[in-house]
Amino acid sequence: MESTAFFEKKISIIPSEFNEIKTSTVDSLLEKKAKEIMEKKCSEQGFVLSGTIKLLSRSMGYFESARFTGDAVYYVKLEGKVIYPADSVRVVGEVIRKNKMGLYIDYRKAIRIQIPRDLHIGSEEYEEVEVGDTVEVELKRSKFQINDPYILASGIFVAKKSGNENARVPVVVSGNAAIGLTEGESEDEADVEAKEGEEPLGEEEEEEEEEGDGEEEEEEEEDEDEDEEAEEAEAEADAE
């Protein structure tokens, strides 16, 4: 949902701003003005995040004909980070308002999400949410216009989040069923825990295993004796 975008803009420097060139450069002045114009607002490519606009290149400045303002005009190429919401994407935001209509959630000061109460009638977890809580929501539809202070979206409540949750991440091992591993836990550590959790065999089970091993050895010895007797009989028949 967050991506890098490139822009081409026309920026003018007025005569009073040329005094700043004594202590800075034209590039820094153009980048400063670009930040003021574009950051924390919606552009044609989404909401531009604060502190992400960078000046890539600029043209030579010129004065427009038949305009006696004294403004120097530059065409610049810019790079910045934008947020553009997509359908069915899940985000975590803060509840800033709650009323009978539903929840109003803020995501990174970029998206304001409306959660209708009618879609969650009977949900106890939804009713327990209060202003200031952190929740996970699924985005559905969104709209914005250029220079809007935020993107307006609608979504569905998923779950309430807390800071002390220790989620277990499913990991697939050798194509078998997924096992739960806590974050930072390796498969070897999980195997050690599984082995430690196994119950030791009792005395009766050990005796049964030993008896079974003894019976298998006796059967193997009997098979070997039968093979030897058959070989001796064949040798005697050949001698006759």
- 68-127 confidence digits (pLDDT tens): 888 999 999 999 999 999 999 999 999 999 999 999 999 999 999 999 999 999 999 999
Report the C-alpha gap between 152 and 140 in whole angstroms. Answer: 11
What fold, for 2-83? Dna Ligase; domain 1 (3.30.1490)
Look at residues 168, 222, 160 and name the one whose alpha carbon lies nearest to residue 193. 168
Q: What is the residue extent of each domain of the chain?
A: 2-83, 90-161, 168-197
CATH number of 90-161: 2.40.50.140
The residue among 2, 61, 4, 12 whose CA lies nearest residue 36 is 12
Does residue 215 sit in helix, strand or coil?
A: helix
- For the chain, the residue count is 240
DSSP 118-168: GGGTT-HHHHT--TT-EEEEEEEEEE--TT-SSEEEEEEEEEEE-TT--PE
Which pTM value belongs to this model?
Answer: 0.64
pLDDT by 10-residue block (mean), the chain, 240 residues: 95 91 91 96 96 96 88 96 95 95 96 95 93 95 96 96 49 35 45 48 53 60 65 62
